[in-house]
């Protein structure tokens, strides 16, 4: 990491600990190696994915530790809300909580979930973040911190959010970032130990496939808000 001031701050907001680390982790690792500041925010810990026989409260503590371990390897920081997994609501309280994090972190870039037809917490996070980004930029909305506008918003590619998702932005990264990401994301038990889905294998292969499509080594893809789906040119 550079001792200089970070060029950018990237805030990655997931419904659960591990969501953004898996889906955008390679890009986060690449930006961290460039000296950018990385902040992850999980709106729930995802503790109800506890392995069989494991106490849910104990697993929640583990998930919070895993979030911090991932962020620390990237020289960043992790925030985990105390909302129970599966009970996330698209409420004014939650929109304002996320607004406050945005104003505190002052990101240039926000990454979050694409709209989902499969996972309640992912779709709710998508809705909360869209509104919270607007609230954070609204100067007349008085909160503890002053208004801040995150100029770029991206939606990460997730196998659980695949309906209607079409890759629009490809962001490539090199082997050093890939290796850092794999090391960091492997701190999450569910990534390497889950019997329900081969998370690490899937996302490692996906990073390579997207890299091939981009004529690069590795890449992750993102969608953008529909109103920004435009290409501006002065001539063909």
Q: Measured between alpha carbons, how far is 85 from 60 in angstroms, rounded to an integer?
A: 9
| Concatenated DSSP letters of 37-88 | EEEEEEEE--GGGPPTT--HHHHHHHHHHHHHHHHHHTT-EEEEEEEPTT--
Strand arrangement, sheet containing 218-223: 77-83, 37-44, 9-14, 109-113, 152-156, 218-223, 169-173
Per-residue pLDDT, 6? 62
Per-residue pLDDT, 12? 98
Quick check: 71 and 38 in contact, CB under 8 A?
Answer: yes
Q: What's the CATH code, domain 9-228?
A: 3.40.50.10320
What are the backbone angles phi and psi of residue 139, rounded to the nearest 5°?
A: -60, -40
Over the chain, what is the mean pLDDT? 95
pLDDT tens digits along 92-137: 999 999 999 999 999 999 999 999 778 899 999 999 999 999 999 9
Going 109 to 75 to 98 to 178, the CA torsion angle's sign is positive
pLDDT for 199 beyond 50 = yes
pLDDT tier for residue 4 given thresholds of 50, 70 and 90: low
- Chain-centroid distance of CA 99 in Å reads 16
pLDDT for 2 beyond 50 = no
- CA nearest neighbour of 23 among 90, 70, 77, 59: 70
pLDDT tens digits along 43-99: 999 999 888 888 999 999 999 999 999 999 999 999 999 999 999 999 999 999 999
Per-residue pLDDT, 231? 87
Compute the average pLDDT of residues 140-144: 97
pLDDT tier for residue 217 given thresholds of 50, 70 and 90: very high
* 210 CB-near residues (< 8 Å, 6+ apart): 157, 167, 170, 218, 219, 220, 221
- Chain-centroid distance of CA 149 in Å reads 18
Count, in order, helices (H) and strands (E) of the chain. 8, 7
Percent of the chain topping pLDDT 70: 97
Compute the average pLDDT of residues 203-224: 98
pLDDT tier for residue 5 given thresholds of 50, 70 and 90: low
């Amino acid at each position: 990491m550079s001792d200089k001031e970070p060029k950018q701050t990237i805030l990655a907001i997931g419904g659960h600990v591990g969501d953004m680390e898996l889906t955008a982790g390679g890009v986060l690792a690449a930006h961290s190696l460039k000296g950018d500041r990385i902040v992850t925010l999980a709106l729930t810990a995802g503790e109800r994915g506890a392995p069989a026989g494991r106490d849910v409260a104990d697993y929640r503590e583990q998930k919070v530790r895993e979030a911090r371990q991932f962020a620390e390897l990237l020289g960043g920081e992790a925030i985990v809300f105390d909302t129970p997994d599966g009970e996330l609501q698209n409420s004014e309280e939650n929109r304002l909580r996320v607004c406050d994090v945005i104003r505190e972190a002052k990101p240039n870039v926000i990454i979050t979930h694409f709209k989902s037809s499969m996972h309640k917490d992912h779709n709710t996070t998508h809705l909360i973040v869209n509104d919270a980004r607007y609230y954070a930029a609204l100067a007349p909305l008085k909160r503890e911190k002053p208004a801040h506008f995150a100029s770029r918003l991206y939606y990460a590619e997730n196998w659980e959010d695949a309906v209607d998702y079409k890759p629009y932005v490809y962001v490539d990264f090199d082997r050093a970032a890939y290796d850092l990401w794999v090391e960091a994301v492997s701190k999450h038990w569910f990534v390497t130990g889950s019997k329900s889905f081969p998370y690490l294998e899937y996302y490692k292969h996906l990073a390579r496939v997207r890299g091939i499509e981009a004529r690069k080594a590795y890449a992750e893809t993102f969608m953008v808000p529909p109103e920004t789906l435009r290409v501006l040119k002065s001539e063909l």
